[in-house]
């Protein structure tokens, strides 16, 4: 089958979803530009900043588009083939993922730009808030686990001998380019702080320097410098998370986000060109027989493996944490909330396409390496076969760039949640909360011995989508309290809650068995965490049911 034809069909589904179902859902919320949004009412130039939808769309998309929609579809395609993956990505994002993002954004805007946990507190009570906050922290822990593991795998050594007799380390080249990129972001932060140059000047100077970092990664001698094992990279990456979550945002977070946006769009443009104009045919089966083992059943594990490519609870944290404070008019919620999630599904399509153009023997490696090889095939359309090393290092660095975005935000959010739970606001408390947020992921990663990516990814995807289900459920209660229809929110909530609870339940049973048999290894730790997640989500569900019954009783008495 032709790859461009298949991609065009998916694009048509996404476009129709935005034009019809997205409009339908937005209409249920009666979005009204006559209402004053929190960004306009509280405009302070710091947190609350009314932002034009074009610029806000780009910022929001950069915040939500991380490695999830890249690695998940690749891993799922390796297991079940591309047919089930495309069905879940296309239909799931239209009816579940984009509805979740739009709903979380509108709910936050209507509640004074409050977080999803605060919305739950107002409508479900303090127990629901406490259980959801604790659940979010555990979910963020597994975001850090999964993406630290993915980054370390991208940096692992893959030495090959070049025709001139020199050795080139593919993983080391990506690591070198990524480290140089982070150093460049810090330099840019200080330049902006000291000289405040115009945005176009920063773009003209620093974007080419990013490509220079990629070129340096292709130098054989440079690629051999940062060779290390997975454990070393775990410590290095989590150490970076500690620093990045504590330093002022202007030193690293803002400049890295600025440069990362360019990397994201360059990679997306290369993917589009490769898919539609690269002349590639599909070389993978639509349906594959998965190997035996845990996590290989199509239901429920397909849905949690793809995770962010179709639905992501993490997006609700972004929608209610930063984006809702920048919505200038309510009508902007649909293009930003619903539209950006559809674009993320398109990123998942590009990631899936990097698998489809490779031979069966080339897709047996780690998902990050598979993505780099497939994207390199697309990039040779611009740089030629002679530039394949550059293309591969760029693809790997782009992936790590997306991951660093998520790691920064997840660690910082984890710190905020712990400080809020314990009511501690001091600098010492911030440091302790940050160390706790990275210490648990480190213990999990060390217990896995560098060979646990698939297991960690499954539990991350399960927690991430369970969070989405809880967010949708909370929004459904809010809508019903206002006398509005909520089936378009509660139906996807029921599906997501069923799939994720099933998956986490399987993890719990497996983990408890391993705990009694082998002691506190990776499976045992994941089992204990799974039990905690089930307990917290059950508490939330009970509080939601009680809230519904209280309102029903109040309505009857009235």
Residue 485 has pLDDT above 80, yes or no: yes
Nearest Cα neighbor of 206 from 258, 140, 282 is: 258
Spatial CB neighbours of 531, under 8 Å, sequence gap ≥ 6: 508, 511, 512
Residue 248 CA to residue 300 CA, distance in Å, equals 41
CA distances to 132, 135, 449 from 504, in Å: 16, 13, 22
Average pLDDT on 498-503 reads: 97
> Cα–Cα distances in Å, from 271 out to 7, 169, 170, 265, 380?
11, 24, 20, 10, 11
Top pLDDT among 218 and 163 is at: 218
Per-residue pLDDT reduced to its tens digit, 287-336: 999 988 899 999 999 999 998 899 999 999 999 988 999 999 999 999 99
pTM: 0.93
Angstrom CA distances, 313 to 196, 256, 372, 497, stand at 36, 24, 27, 12
Buried b (16+ CB within 10 A) or exposed e, 438-449: bebbbebbeebe
Single out the residue of 285, 283, 290 nearest to residue 80, CA to CA: 290
Q: Which residue has the tokens 């997501």?
A: 496
Among 302-311, 411-420, 457-466, the minimum mean pLDDT is found in: 411-420
Give the pLDDT band (50/70/90) at residue 50: very high
- Do residues 118 and 189 make contact, with C-beta atoms less than 8 angstroms apart? no
pLDDT of residue 220: 87
Tell me: pLDDT of 286 over 70: yes
The SS3 assignment for 159 reads: strand
If DSSP codes are grouped into helix, strand and coil, which group holds residue 163? coil
555 — pLDDT class (breaks 50, 70, 90): low
Q: What is the pLDDT of residues 146-173, one digit of tens each?
A: 999 999 988 987 777 766 677 778 889 9
- The token pair that represents 541 in the structure block: 């569900």
Q: Report the 10 Å Cβ neighbour count for 558.
A: 5
**CA atoms 248, 253, 256, 261: torsion sign:** negative
Whole-angstrom distance, CA of residue 96 vs CA of residue 91 = 8
β-pair partners for 161: 167
Average pLDDT of the segment spanning 189-213: 92
Cβ atoms of 339 and 345 closer than 8 Å: no
Domains detected in the chain: 3-557 (1.20.1740.10)
Classify residue 254 as exposed, middle or buried by CB count within 10 Å of its CB (0-12, 13-18, 19+).
middle
Q: Give yes or no for residue 256 having a pLDDT over 70.
A: yes
The answer, yes or no, to whether the previous bond of 300 is cis (omega within 30 of 0) is yes
The three-class DSSP label of residue 517 is helix
Tens-digit pLDDT profile for residues 97-153 = 999 999 999 999 999 999 999 999 999 999 999 999 999 999 999 999 999 999 998
What single string gives the DSSP state of each residue in 268-279?
HHHHHHHHHHS-
Residue 366, pLDDT score: 84
Torsion-angle region of 19 (φ positive above 0: left; ψ -120 to 50: alpha; else: beta): alpha
Cβ-count burial 2-38 (b if 16+ within 10 Å, e if not): ebbebbeebbebbeebbeebbeebbebbebeeeeebb
Note the pLDDT of residue 136: 95
Sign of the alpha-carbon torsion through 487, 493, 498, 499: positive
Q: What is the DSSP string of 36-98?
A: PPHHHHT--SSS---B-HHHHHHHHHHHH-SSHHHHHHHHHHHHH-HHHHHHHHHHHIIIIIH
Q: Residue 558's pLDDT band (boundaries 50, 70, 90)?
A: very low
Q: How confident is the model at residue 519 (pLDDT cuts 50, 70, 90)?
A: confident
Percent of the residues in the chain that have a pLDDT greater than 70, as a whole number = 98
Residue 60 in contact with residue 357, Cβ under 8 Å?
A: no
Look at 213 and 170; give whichever has higher pLDDT: 213
Contact 210, 184 (CB under 8 A): yes
Dihedral over alpha carbons 115, 117, 120, 122 (to 10 degrees)? -60
pLDDT at 164: 67
pLDDT at 317: 93
């Amino acid at each position: 089958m032709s790859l461009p034809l298949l991609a065009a069909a998916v694009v048509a589904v996404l476009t129709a979803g935005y034009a019809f179902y997205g409009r339908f859902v937005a209409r249920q919320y009666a979005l009204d530009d006559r209402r004053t949004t929190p960004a306009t009412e509280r405009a302070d130039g710091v947190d609350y900043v009314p932002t034009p939808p074009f610029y806000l769309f780009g910022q929001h998309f950069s915040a939500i588009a991380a490695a999830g929609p890249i690695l998940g579809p690749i891993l799922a395609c390796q297991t079940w083939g591309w047919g089930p993956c495309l069905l879940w990505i296309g239909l799931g994002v239209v009816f579940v993922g984009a509805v979740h993002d739009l709903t979380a954004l509108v709910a936050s805007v209507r509640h004074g730009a409050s977080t999803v946990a605060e919305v739950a507190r107002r409508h479900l009570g303090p127990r629901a808030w406490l259980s959801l906050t604790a659940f979010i922290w555990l979910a963020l822990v597994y975001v850090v686990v999964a993406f630290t593991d993915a980054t370390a795998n991208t940096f692992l050594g893959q030495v090959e001998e070049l025709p001139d007799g020199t050795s080139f380390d593919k993983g080391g080249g990506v690591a070198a380019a990524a480290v140089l990129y982070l150093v460049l972001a810090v330099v840019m932060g200080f330049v902006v702080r000291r000289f405040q140059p115009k945005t176009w000047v920063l773009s003209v100077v620093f974007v080419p320097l990013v490509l220079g970092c990629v070129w340096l990664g292709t130098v054989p001698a440079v690629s051999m410098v940062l060779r290390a094992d997975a454990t070393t990279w775990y410590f290095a990456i989590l150490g970076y998370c500690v620093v990045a979550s504590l330093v002022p945002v202007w030193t690293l977070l803002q400049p890295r986000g600025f440069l990362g946006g360019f990397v994201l769009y360059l990679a997306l443009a290369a993917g589009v060109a490769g898919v539609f104009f690269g002349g590639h045919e599909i070389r993978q089966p639509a349906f594959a027989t998965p190997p035996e083992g845990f996590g290989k059943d199509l239901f429920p594990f397909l849905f949690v493996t793809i995770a962010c490519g179709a639905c992501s609870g993490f997006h609700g944290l972004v929608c209610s944490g930063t984006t809702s404070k920048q919505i200038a008019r309510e009508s902007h919620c649909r293009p930003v909330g619903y539209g950006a999630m559809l674009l993320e599904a398109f990123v998942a399509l590009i990631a899936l396409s990097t698998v489809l153009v490779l031979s069966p023997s080339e897709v047996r490696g780690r998902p990050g390496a598979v993505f780099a090889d497939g994207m390199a095939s697309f990039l040779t359309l611009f740089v030629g076969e002679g530039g394949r090393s550059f293309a591969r290092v760029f693809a790997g660095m782009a992936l790590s760039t997306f991951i660093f975005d998520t790691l920064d935000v997840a660690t910082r959010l984890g710190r905020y949640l712990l400080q809020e739970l314990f009511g501690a606001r001091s600098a010492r408390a911030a440091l302790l909360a940050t160390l706790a947020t990275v210490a648990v992921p480190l213990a999990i990663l060390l217990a896995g011995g560098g060979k646990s990516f698939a297991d960690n990814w499954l539990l991350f995807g399960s927690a991430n989508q369970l969070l989405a289900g809880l967010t949708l459920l909370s929004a459904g209660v809010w809508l019903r309290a206002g006398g509005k229809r909520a089936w378009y929110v509660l139906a996807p909530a029921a599906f997501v809650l069923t799939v994720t609870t099933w998956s986490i339940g399987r993890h719990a049973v497996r983990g408890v068995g391993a705990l009694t048999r082998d002691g506190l290894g990776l499976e045992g730790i994941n089992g204990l965490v799974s039990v905690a997640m089930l307990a917290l989500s059950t508490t939330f569900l009970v509080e939601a049911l009680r809230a519904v019954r209280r309102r029903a009783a109040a309505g009857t008495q009235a």
